[in-house]
């Protein structure tokens, strides 16, 4: 599908939101901010649920601060590192754009509309915690879209499920590959227990912090990779 006016508008506004925040990539949160800013039915739906640009920024900032404290570094350290990079569409931004265009194509439409982008966001799972912090949910947004006569998918969006416990392990660059590969095999997306990674800011230090729910023993998995590497 060739870029249409809606796609161009959403992407342009998403880049503006990411630039204002000092990010190095445009993600799903920036798209949500764009939709909450540009006049459209999608913005009306979000406003009805009290999802406004100010509240998105406030809740996102609080959640980011909590994440920074958990990781042990300051937001300015991340922003300083990010500002040295060219702004680009990140993985979650690409995912949202692809889903929005896919929705339009599946329904035989020649171009996307803002509500397709909103559906693309809520049928992903990377801003469910943000929506929960805003006092709403993917299901509430879908129901409001349906109430206003917007076509929505026949299946329900993913339910938000908070992490069950949380611990982490700092991993050197040499250990990252084997550990992440083992985690991917034992606990792929959709498994019972979840995990995630964050890379520490800075150009030369390639350590990462691996986060996991209580059902994943990170130390045991790391020891297993070392044992496998010695045999």
- Whether 154 is in a domain gets the answer no
* Statement to judge: residues 17 and 111 lie in one domain: yes
Cα 6 to Cα 109: distance, rounded to the nearest angstrom: 13
The answer, yes or no, to whether residue 1 has pLDDT greater than 50, is no
In the chain, how many domains are there? 2
Last residue of a domain, one of 118, 147, 176: 147
The reply to whether 142 and 224 lie within a common domain is no
Q: Do residues 188 and 106 both lie within one domain?
A: no
Residue 155 lies in a domain: no
Residue 160 lies in a domain: no
- Same structural domain for residues 137 and 65? yes
- For residue 193, what are its two tokens? 């227990």
**Model's pTM, two decimal places?**
0.77
pLDDT tens digit sequence for 62-113: 988 876 676 555 554 444 444 446 788 888 899 999 999 999 999 999 999 9
Mean pLDDT over 132-155 rounds to 96
Give burial (CB, 10 Å; 0-12/13-18/19+) of 45: buried
For residue 112, give its domain range.
Answer: 5-147
Structural tokens at position 160: 């938000």
* Shared domain check, 224 and 111: no
């Amino acid at each position: 599908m060739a870029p249409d006016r809606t796609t161009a508008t959403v992407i342009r506004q998403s880049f503006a939101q990411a630039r204002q925040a000092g990010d190095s990539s445009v993600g799903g949160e920036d798209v949500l901010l764009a939709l909450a800013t540009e006049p459209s039915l999608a913005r009306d739906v979000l406003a009805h649920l009290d999802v406004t640009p100010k509240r998105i920024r406030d809740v996102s900032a609080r959640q980011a601060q909590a994440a920074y404290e958990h990781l042990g570094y300051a937001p300015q350290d991340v922003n300083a590192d990010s500002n040295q990079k060219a702004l680009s569409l990140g993985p979650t931004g690409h995912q949202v754009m692809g889903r929005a265009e896919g929705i339009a194509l599946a329904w035989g439409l020649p171009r996307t509309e803002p509500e397709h982008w909103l559906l693309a966001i809520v049928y992903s799972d990377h801003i469910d915690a943000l929506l929960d912090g805003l006092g709403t949910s993917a299901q509430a947004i879908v129901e409001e879209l349906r109430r206003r006569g917007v076509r929505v998918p026949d299946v329900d969006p993913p339910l938000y499920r908070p992490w069950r416990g949380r611990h982490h392990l700092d991993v050197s660059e040499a250990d990252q590959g084997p550990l992440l590969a083992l985690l991917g095999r034992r606990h792929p997306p959709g498994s019972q227990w979840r995990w995630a990674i964050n890379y520490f800011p800075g150009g030369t230090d390639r350590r990462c912090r691996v986060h996991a729910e209580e059902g994943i023993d990170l130390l045991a998995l790391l020891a297993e990779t070392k044992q496998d590497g010695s045999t």
